[in-house]
Structure 1
Amino acid sequence: MGQLKPSAWACARFGTMAADLLEAIPVALRRAHRRALASHVEMGFSTNEAYGLIWKALHEELVSAIGDHSGVRRTKPKGASYELVVIGEHNVILYPWRYGDDAHTRVEDKRMRLSEVRNNLLTLNPESPEPQLTLEHAELTEDDLASLFEEERRDAQSMASAGRAVVLAYASNPDAGLLRLFWGDAEKADEDGYLRWTHLEEISLRAADDGTDAGGIGARPLVPVGPDTAAGRFDQAPLEEPVLGVRPPLTSPDTDPTATPQPETGSDA
């Protein structure tokens, strides 16, 4: 397979490593997906909790794929259980984000849950206030505390030295597999987690094709169904005829007297 040609933006961000990243990143994502899918199948949950750990697997796979390359260093954010890779002379941090589980939703319309690490990366302002003691710190000696705070200070300086963060936004699920992959420049638009993308481009997942399956356990389509595809649209089915009848007295127009009462539910997701 020939090497993919990076865009002018990618070359500006990553220099001579741009083409290598276009191939390495999809491969790392494929490996992370297979790990998460194996956990999902083995655990047998009816929900996607086990698969949801793909984010942590991807951090590890990115470090494994490119962390030892010349011109790449690693940094561990304060309080994080994972490492990030920092690339090139411009010190660009790659930060993966699973923005969705379908191929239809626009990445620009999704909100990111803003942790301290994500806030620091998106604003590139990792300077933190003076260290605050916690209950866990009470069990440490003064020397241990000094060592811990010094490590946190070095982490902050390491992140501060990065020129910018490039977000790797991807969509996947255990049924359909890998769906979309993008990278670009983003900054925090508001406190609700919406991002302002100043540049966004899609990375082909074909670069991850190593002859093994990276789909899911189901058979859902990997791309949106268009009007010219063989599958019918939802509004092409015949409409059901409404059943009309006499409403019993003393019932409101929107009440079914034979229905079982249902509790009110809601979601802030």
Structure 2
Amino acid sequence: MPVSSWAHDAFGQRAQLVRRSIAEALAVALENARDAQQVARTDHQHPFGFTLMSRKFEALAEAFEELGDVRIVKPAGSPHELVLLDGKLLFPFRYARDRSVSVMSARIGDGRPSALVQALFNRFGPEPAMRQLALQDVAPHAVPVAEALAGLPEGTSLVLIAYACNAHAGLLDAWWGEAELLDRTGSLRWHHCEEIPLTEAAPAAPATAPAAAFDQGVLPTPSLNTHTGARRLATPLGEATPIRPEAASGE
């Protein structure tokens, strides 16, 4: 899938690399979460959910840690690390567990956006089309988090990575773009949203040579023995018969 003008404006010549790395990081996080669910041997989805909660941030940081100009940000009071790349702060979140929900109707934070999420939108979200969710309208416990983000560079903008998945089907789809937070229930208004092709994250299958037909190819040469089967079982002529241990001891 060609890179859009939005992605090119955001990440320049390496926009396709960034998009592919995001898809690969999500695939890794989902694989780890499904492994945790399988090892737990329970029908409850807690192992999957808890693992995914952490690994989605960690896998993104691991995917970009080799780039020299990337910055890993850990806001005070938050256990998660965020990737800051080309002035864009990447924030992944699961918007749905199946395909019944459109990404355009997505809510962030399962309808209960955290203090960190509210602070991120308030400081780094796009200019709202309508009245902005001002800092005084944000939950009071979000204020210290917002102050902790003050050290990030001016001009930093928030890029959302929305994905749908579950423990059985894995990663269903993924999207990225920019949106504003409308209210404390996590409702979003997308300013730009486009799909991330998951095929970019799929490892290429190794090429295999076509199997040769039964009557083709070089036949193996059997190793030949000049003795017959009966001759091999007998003691060769001209060789001394070995002395058994019991005969040597006189017993």
TM-score range, shorter chain: 0.5 to 0.7
Could you list the per-position Cα deviations for residues 234-257 of structure 1 after superposition, in whole angstroms to 9, with x for gaps in the alignment?
A: xxxxxxxxxxxxxxxxxxxxxxxx
How many Å separate the matches in 1 of 2:3 and 2:64? 17
How many Å separate the matches in 2 of 1:201 and 1:153? 28
> Who is 2:102 aligned against?
106
**Percentage identity across aligned positions?**
30
> Who is 1:261 aligned against?
none
Return the TM-score normalized by structure 1: 0.63
- Map residues 182-261 of structure 1 onto 2, 5 A cutoff: 182-211=175-204
* Rg larger in structure: 2
How many Å separate the matches in 2 of 1:37 and 1:211? 21
> Who is 2:47 aligned against?
50
How many Å separate the matches in 2 of 1:107 and 1:165? 17
SS at 1:71 equivalent: coil
| Contact 2:116/2:146 (8 A) holds in 1 | no
Q: Which amino acid aligns with 1:106?
A: S
> Who is 1:82 aligned against?
80
How many Å separate the matches in 1 of 2:88 and 2:155? 6
SS at 1:34 equivalent: helix
How many Å separate the matches in 1 of 2:32 and 2:102? 26
> Who is 2:59 aligned against?
61
Gaps of 5+ in 1: 130-148, 213-269
Return the TM-score normalized by structure 2: 0.68
> Who is 1:115 aligned against?
114
Cα gap change, 1:175 to 1:211, in 2 (>3 Å): farther
How many Å separate the matches in 2 of 1:9 and 1:95? 17
> Who is 2:248 aligned against?
none
SS at 1:191 equivalent: coil
Q: Which amino acid aligns with 1:197?
A: W
> Who is 1:172 aligned against?
165
1:6 matches 2:3: yes
Cα gap change, 1:27 to 1:195, in 2 (>3 Å): same
**What RMSD, in angstroms, separates the aligned Cα atoms of the two structures?**
2.5
SS at 1:93 equivalent: strand
Gaps of 5+ in 2: 126-133, 137-143, 206-251
| Structure 1 position 55, deviation (Å) | 2.7
Q: Which amino acid aligns with 1:165?
A: L
SS at 2:46 equivalent: coil
